[in-house]
Amino acid sequence: DAGVIQSPRHEVTEMGQEVTLRCKPISGHNSLFWYRQTMMRGLELLIYFNNNVPIDDSGMPEDRFSAKMPNASFSTLKIQPSEPRDSAVYFCASSSPAGFSYNEQFFGPGTRLTVL
Amino acid sequence: DQQVKQNSPSLSVQEGRISILNCDYTNSMFDYFLWYKKYPAEGPTFLISISSIKDKNEDGRFTVFLNKSAKHLSLHIVPSQPGDSAVYFCAASASGTGNQFYFGTGTSLTVIP
């Protein structure tokens, strides 16, 4: 299996521009998570989906952030308009159905976003 | 508010010695705890976990200890190796939250050869 795939790996943009981050989860996984890593807050959960449905988006910082999962194999995180304080590494992770126990989350390599 | 805290941003240890990474949590509903390891330019990878019904879980050189009364867990690495140099994240989850993990801020471990 190729693991969780994220694109692009690096993104440099100017303030005010729209940014779209993409994620392909591991086939068969039904949960998908978007995280943001910063020095101050570590790994913050932004939003997660179960079976393509957003379950908890309370971590999305502002209305400028939005996420979609149109099908089981693709998700996007969009920032519009972007601001310098959005600069961070964004991770996507997926996991198989938890059932009665917890399942580890598998992370992608991340997208390093720099907003100038 | 940060529900999982790692108060040591960094730690340096000599090769062959023990590394002890600490983690504290505030939510008494957490019943499952994990450690993830992250190398530069890569995503975090699962290392070891522990359920709240246990107080210790061991996997090779890695042992996680859980003290529920103190809301504290620690990761012991013995013996430490240069390849263990990475950022370690502690995470916690509660039943009924759909496999949602709450992560700490991470501790950067450097093992000196």
DSSP string covering B21-76? EEEEE--TTEEEEEEEEE-TTS--EEEEEEETT-SEEEETTEEEEEETTTTEEEEE
- The tokens 């340096």 sit on which residue? B12
User: Which stretches of chain A score pLDDT less than 50?
Assistant: none
Residue of A nearest to B94 (CA): A102
Amino acid at A109: P
Cβ atoms A45, A55 nearer than 8 A: no
User: Quick check: A43 and B41 CB within 8 A?
Assistant: no
Average pLDDT taken over every residue of chain B: 94
Round to the nearest angstrom and report the end-to-end CA distance of chain B. Answer: 38
Q: What is the pLDDT of residue A103?
A: 76
Confidence of residue B96 (pLDDT cuts 50, 70, 90): confident
Distance (Å, whole) CA B55 – CA B30: 14
| CB-nearest partner of B100 from A42, A56, A106 | A56
pLDDT above 80: residue B97: no
pLDDT tens-digit profile of A94-113?
998 765 567 789 999 999 99
Please give the torsion angle defined by the CA atoms of residues A29, A30, A34 and A37, in that order, rounded to the nearest 10 degrees. -40
Q: What is the pLDDT of residue B8?
A: 94
Which residues of chain B neighbour A102 with C-beta distances below 8 Å? 32, 34, 49, 93, 99
Distance (Å) from the alpha carbon of A43 to chain B's nearest alpha carbon: 6
User: Quick check: A35 and B106 CB within 8 A?
Assistant: no
pLDDT tens-digit profile of B6-56?
999 999 999 999 999 999 999 999 999 999 999 999 999 999 999 999 999
Look at residue A86 and give its three-state secondary structure: helix
Which residues of chain A neighbour B34 with C-beta distances below 8 Å? 102, 104
Query: Residue A26 gets which letter from DSSP?
Result: P
Burial group, residue A33, by CB count within 10 angstroms (0-12, 13-18, 19+):
buried
Which residues of chain A neighbour B91 with C-beta distances below 8 Å? 43
Percent of chain A's residues with pLDDT above 70 = 96
| CB-nearest partner of B99 from A31, A43, A110 | A31
Q: What is the pLDDT of residue A100?
A: 53
Count, residues in chain A: 116
